[in-house]
Structure 1
Amino acid sequence: MSHLPRLLKITSVAAKYRLHQLSPLTARSWVIRSVMAIVGLPWTGNAARHLSPEQRLRTALEELGPIYIKFGQLLSTRRDFLPHALADELQSLQDRVPGFTSPAITTIVETALESPWQNHFNHINPEALASASIAQVHEATLLSGEHVVIKVLRPGINETIRQDIVVLKWLARLIERYVPDGRRLRPREVIADYEHVILGELNLMAEGANTTLLRRNFEHSPLLYVPRVYWDVSRDGMLVTERINGIPVSDVVQLQAKQVDLRKLAETGVEIFFTQVFEHSFFHADMHPGNIFVDPADPQNPRYIAIDCAIIGSLSNEDQQYLARNLLAIFKRDYRKVAELHVECGWVPKTTKVVEFEAAMRTVCEPIFEKPLKDISFGYLLIQLFRTAGRFNMEVQPSLVLLQKTLLNVEGLGRQLYPELDLWQTALPFLERWNRRRMKPSFLWRELKNNAPDWVEQFPHLPQLVLNSLNQHEKVQTLSDTLQTVIDQQRQLEKRRRRRSRRLLTLLVVAGLLFVFLYFTQ
């Protein structure tokens, strides 16, 4: 078991910080208590045991490494679910993870550029500006005088992550086999999705490309600013981008000191999210507070600044359209429409009974809608809908899962800024405008013009395509005739076999009767 050393490390850290005491489920298990007591003997007098439970969890996640830090980052955005003390402690994982000093940043730069760093930079700060789970960044100045940041991966991070993924997959199998309802939790699917996301963060060139496209999408927008990428000095394992100046979105005290309209800021965040999803079909999917800053130059119309575009989501035109129509139907409590759309777009099997699906959706949604809209978590409702669809064999849609996670982040962040945020009030007008635009003749004409070149290109090949289709039909018909002939032959053989069986049975009966007759006449 190549993952055994890493598994022992995880158990050791959990015992060191007494993490089993944080969960009532594990705290009541005498087996877990006994194992942790034995494994934790070397740290009996460790000072970490005197930390608060929140500090113990945060420190343990830091010691375990990037995958566990990432988990803490996700938790820190959900202040509506977590105790405030725990959310405050986990928030430090966003950009205050202990950094590395070896090898030196100048050594990494020179190795990547294959030349002395002075050939490209006037100055590189050896101290990290910020350090996160996968990488850290350093301030620098180009020869042109432009202020930039250099993002570099942590040494050995690839191997650490791959070892952790192996351990998590092994644990997922154990959960499925031995934990009650383990299969229903689908832990292996969860780990596979997480593996795809976190391995994607190791490709800094892909992150640079994502950043460039996101910048282009919002190039003239007052809502969001995305820093420039300096491709001439970026390499595999090293990304150089524009140095931005802004207030961390989590620093509410400083935002208030700058008289930033927090309600406007929270609503703008929701508008940015829906613009990315439905206008661009390309959305920043890692919108935790460590990646989001605010430009307070215009306090009444504050502008967001987004960094770290390693995780990006995208929807197909079909998924985009069906998602918008589903959300509009949910807003209007038209559960029959929701059920029909799920079947129509293939999210659930075509054989699904719409009436049963509609009833299941109504059962989930109606109790939620009894609350005032501003008190309803949009992200939580989406989770409940996906779970309900899962009972009807809805296939896992990776793009929708990523969208769901991002929406949870956006909603958690928005309510952290402005607790009275009514995401529904912001989202509904946006979706209605988007739907109306798609019905306008100008939009339809634009779609026709966009598709016309493809149609013109295919037109000369149309006769050949028709002939190919006819030939294919003939081949299918020939195959069908052949199969029918084989079936007929099989039927004939079956009839002959039955006739032979009947003859044999008759012969056996006659022989038996003859034997009995001869036996009794002797």
Structure 2
Amino acid sequence: MRRYDPEAIARYYRYRPWKVIWRVVTIIWYFANFIWGLKWDEWTNQVEKNRQKRASRLQYILTNLGPTYIKVGQALSTRPDLIRKDFLEELVKLQDSLPPFDTAIAYRIIETELNLRIEEIFAEISPAPIAAASLGQVYRAYLHSGEEVAVKVQRPNLKPLLSLDLYLMRWGAKLLGPWLPLNLGHDLGLIVDEFGSKLFEEVDYLNEGRNAEKFAANFSNNSNVKVPAIYWRYSTNRVLTLEWIHGYKLTDNHALKAASININSIIETGVTSGLQQLLEFGFFHADPHPGNLFAMSDGRMAYIDFGMMDQLEETTKENLVDAVVHLINKDYLELAEEFVKLGFLTPETDILPIVPALEAVLGDILGQSVRDFNFKTITDRFSELMYEYPFRVPAKFALIIRSLVTQEGLALSIDPNFKIVDVAYPYVARRLLTGESPQLRRRLIEVLFKGGKFQWHRLENLIAIARSDNNFDLLPTAELGLRYLLSEEGAFLRQKLLLALTEDDKLHTEEVRRLWNLVKEDIQPNRLFTAALGALADFSREGAAALLPLVATLSVSGDPNSREMR
């Protein structure tokens, strides 16, 4: 099968019980012993004493049951709504690392898939795999045309094993789901199906190649991100040939320093490109573990392994940005409503009792401890809410959480003093201030206004945060802002700004002066004149009339002898 089809798999194995029995016995043996251990701890009051031991045992079981169960463990490691915290900490340690299979078998797979002899395909190929994972292994080779390539070969009989395991998991989910004390929010069988769909996508190497090219197209204008080229002539569903990447593992600090690679630049590229995937493109790499990211000697960061990807719909991206805006504004009722739209809460959930809990958990995220913010802390805090309130983690957000936590962990392994807000905040502030889409401009207005009043300190904070990024240029942003104010779309904001400048029966010249002092070092007269000309290119008489009150206010704020007018 090219795609996961649970009904077709069920039909196949329903009439072939001999293929099922031995696997069932093996799985039952492992998990019966594990459950017996948990019960024994309860009966002998040793639960706390043996917590770590049982969590480690679960990791051991999943590893020994093979590729499907290793992937299960990795998937569960992002699901605090399903697994208790101590188990989560062990499951995140699971690695895609298994002993390699025989090279002679790998060569036969290559020859069968490509219908050519090894010596006809490659001028040279490594006699042993360079790396082995749960689903396949990689060889280093040279084509006859001279290109150095990585040849990814799928493990033999992989799909039959995955299909059998998924069939048994689905059967077990249907049978045992109602008896398990899990806060799912929906049928456990659907979670198995979500997992199965992604797993089948991951073992389709042609799909992975298409993902790589789409990812490369998204970053075509970003010289800091490298994606290997795909050699389609030598690729099939089970063999993928791609450009060899010369790089250093991000966890190898010694090699990074020896190569004189700017570590801070690599971290910034990783975090910024991760945010771009989520907030701009909606197409993101869901498995950015240390083996899939490399620092190159020229300062670029390379992504490899595009089997596990996902796409966010435009409405999901907008709802995600809305949730961030509500978090910034500390509007927890609206934030709870966004959680319903995003699928973290079901539509019939009574959100009023949840609002105080959200405030308690998230209240200090953007407060004085903002520099201590990290995604791991957020997931840990949310895991505490999962058992008290009917939260669930939608499949897409399970992948997003995994991606963000993994990237943050990588950054911390390179620089223990790394603070994600130092990179993420300037990026988000810059995106809001430039407002290149109507949706982002609307979000900016929502950030700047609360209760109908203009929040001067929020604009100051956004500008200050954006300026902390050395790549941020204020003048183009100012030009975009002026264009927007003079446009038909900006009529609402013009009216709001006039009200803000004159609210409480006074001209808020002090606030304007603070903003001027914040930006005046970046305002060079010649560049300011050029930016103004650009913004005023299509300036109309009606636009001038609309802008006069604003100009008058700015003139007053620039007079050092001015006083607030009542």
Distance 1:231 1:390, change over 3 A: farther
Q: CA deviation at 1:284?
A: 0.8
Which of 388, 401, 406 does residue 404 from structure 1 map onto?
A: 401
Which of 26, 33, 37 does residue 9 from structure 1 map onto?
A: 26
Higher mean displacement: 384-393 or 409-418: 384-393
Deviations 1:256-296 (A, max 9, x none): 44354444433332111001112222111111112111113
Q: CA deviation at 1:157?
A: 0.7
Deviations 1:205-260 (A, max 9, x none): 00000011112222342332110000111122111101111111222332244354
Distance 1:384 1:189, change over 3 A: farther
User: Residues of 2 paired with 1:87 and 1:261: CA distance?
Assistant: 32
Residue number in structure 2 paired with 1:28: 41
Residue 148 of structure 1 contacts residue 241 of structure 1 at CA under 8 Å; is this kept in 2?
yes
Distance 1:160 1:280, change over 3 A: same
2:149 is paired with a residue whose SS is strand
Q: Which has the larger radius of gyration?
A: 1
Residue number in structure 1 paired with 2:133: 132
Number of residue pairs the alignment of both structures matches: 414
Distance 1:329 1:55, change over 3 A: closer
One-letter amino acid matched to 1:425? D
Deviations 1:340-383 (A, max 9, x none): 54567787677777755544432332266678234333255368
Q: Which runs of 5+ in 2 are unaligned?
A: 1-13, 47-52, 80-84, 442-479, 490-566
Residue 129 of structure 2 contacts residue 140 of structure 2 at CA under 8 Å; is this kept in 1?
yes
Which of 315, 319, 323 does residue 322 from structure 1 map onto?
A: 319
Once the two structures are superposed, the pairs formed by residues 183-262 of structure 1 within 5 Å of their partners are 187-262=188-263
Question: Does 2:370 correspond to 1:373?
Answer: yes
Deviations 1:304-333 (A, max 9, x none): 211110111111112112212211321342
Residue number in structure 2 paired with 1:105: 106
User: Residues of 2 paired with 1:58 and 1:349: CA distance?
Assistant: 31
Residue number in structure 1 paired with 2:361: 364
Distance 1:343 1:77, change over 3 A: closer
Residue 77 of structure 1 contacts residue 409 of structure 1 at CA under 8 Å; is this kept in 2?
no
Residue number in structure 1 paired with 2:307: 310
Q: CA deviation at 1:397?
A: 4.2
Deviations 1:161-216 (A, max 9, x none): 12222333344345533343465696444333222221211111000000111122
Residue 131 of structure 2 contacts residue 137 of structure 2 at CA under 8 Å; is this kept in 1?
yes
Percent same amino acid among aligned pairs?
Answer: 27
Residue number in structure 2 paired with 1:123: 124
Residue number in structure 2 paired with 1:275: 276
User: Residues of 1 paired with 2:391 and 2:246: CA distance?
Assistant: 44
Q: Which runs of 5+ in 1 are unaligned?
A: 34-51, 449-522
Distance 1:53 1:130, change over 3 A: farther
Distance 1:335 1:57, change over 3 A: closer
Deviations 1:466-517 (A, max 9, x none): xxxxxxxxxxxxxxxxxxxxxxxxxxxxxxxxxxxxxxxxxxxxxxxxxxxx
Distance 1:86 1:252, change over 3 A: farther
Residue number in structure 2 paired with 1:296: 297
Distance 1:364 1:235, change over 3 A: same
Distance 1:103 1:11, change over 3 A: farther
User: Residues of 2 paired with 1:162 and 1:156: CA distance?
Assistant: 10
User: Residues of 2 paired with 1:206 and 1:308: CA distance?
Assistant: 11
Question: Does 2:451 correspond to 1:424?
Answer: no
Distance 1:214 1:8, change over 3 A: same
What root-mean-square deviation, in Å, do the aligned CA atoms of Structure 1 and Structure 2 show?
4.3
Question: Does 2:173 correspond to 1:172?
Answer: yes
Distance 1:75 1:166, change over 3 A: closer
Residue number in structure 2 paired with 1:485: none
One-letter amino acid matched to 1:295? M
Distance 1:177 1:376, change over 3 A: same
User: Residues of 1 paired with 2:253 and 2:176: CA distance?
Assistant: 40
Distance 1:20 1:380, change over 3 A: same
Distance 1:319 1:293, change over 3 A: same
Q: What TM-score, normalized by structure 2, do the two folds share?
A: 0.62
